[in-house]
Structure 1
Amino acid sequence: MDKIQENKVQRFEEFIDCRLKPDLVRAIAERDKVFEQQKVFLDLRRYIENLEKNGVTSLRTLVNVGSEVYMQADVPDTRHIFVDIGLGFHVEFTWSEALEFISRKEERLDRQIEEYTQLIASIKAQIKMVYEGIRELLQLSADRS
C-alpha cells in the first residue's frame, strides 16, 4: 500500500473515531434520556388511572425530599395533582387534565424517540459506508501488489 492510500485510510479511521462514534454515543445517550422521560409519564399515567379506578381521594405516601431521603406525607385531596411540565415548572391539574397532558407529552416523546432512532441509524450507516470505503482502498492496494 502506497503512502497516499495509507494516509487516506488513516484520515477515514480518524473521522470514524473522532466524529462519527462520539456522535453515535451522544445520540444514543439523548434517546435514553427520552426513554427515561417516557417511563416517568407512563408511571404517572398508571398511578392516576389507579387513583381514579379505586376512587382514592386522600392518601398517605412517602415523598423524596432530596438525596434519596424520604418522609411521610398526607395528601388530603388527590383529585388535584402537580405535574412537572419542564424547566422546573409545575402545573396543577385535575386527573382528566393531567391524563390529557400526559397523552400529548407521550406523543411528543414518541416523535423524539423516532427522530433519535433515525439519527442513530443514519450515523451507523455512515460508519458502515466509511468502513466499506476503507475496505475498497485496501482491496485496491492488494490487487495492485
Structure 2
Amino acid sequence: MSGFGGIGGVGGAGGGAAGLQQIIALRQQIIDRSSLLQDLRGAGAASGTAPAQDTTATPAGGFTGALKSALDTVNASQNRADAATDSYEKGETMDVAKVMLARQEAGVGFEATLQVRNRLLSAYQDIMRMGV
C-alpha cells in the first residue's frame, strides 16, 4: 500500500489525519485573524478613529498567504487526480483503487474550498450591509 503515500499524504497509518490537521490549522488561523480584526475594529471604535492601514496589512497578508496555499494544495490534488485518471485510461495503471482515492481526495478538497468561498462571500455581504 505504499502507492497511496504519494497522493497528498493520504494512506498508510494516520495519513488522513495529516489532511485533517491541515484543515484544522487553517481554521484556527482564520479564527485568529478574525479575532485580531475584531480587536482592531474595537480599538478604532473606542478611540473614534479607524485603525491605521499598516496594522491591517499584516493580518491580511497572512490570511491571503494561507488561502493561496490552501488553493494551491487543492489545485495540486486535482492535477494528481487528473493524471491518475489519464494514466488509468491509457492502461498505464491498473490500480483502480488508487485512481478512485485520488478522485475522492480532489472532490473533498474542492467541496471544502467551495464552503470556505461561500462563507467568505456571506461575510463580505454582511459587512457591506452594515451601517457605518
What TM-score comes out, normalization by structure 2 length? Answer: 0.45
What TM-score comes out, normalization by structure 1 length? Answer: 0.42
User: Which of 1 and 2 has higher RCO (CA within 8 Å, sep 6+)?
Assistant: 1
- Would you tell me which structure has more strand in proportion to its own residues? 1
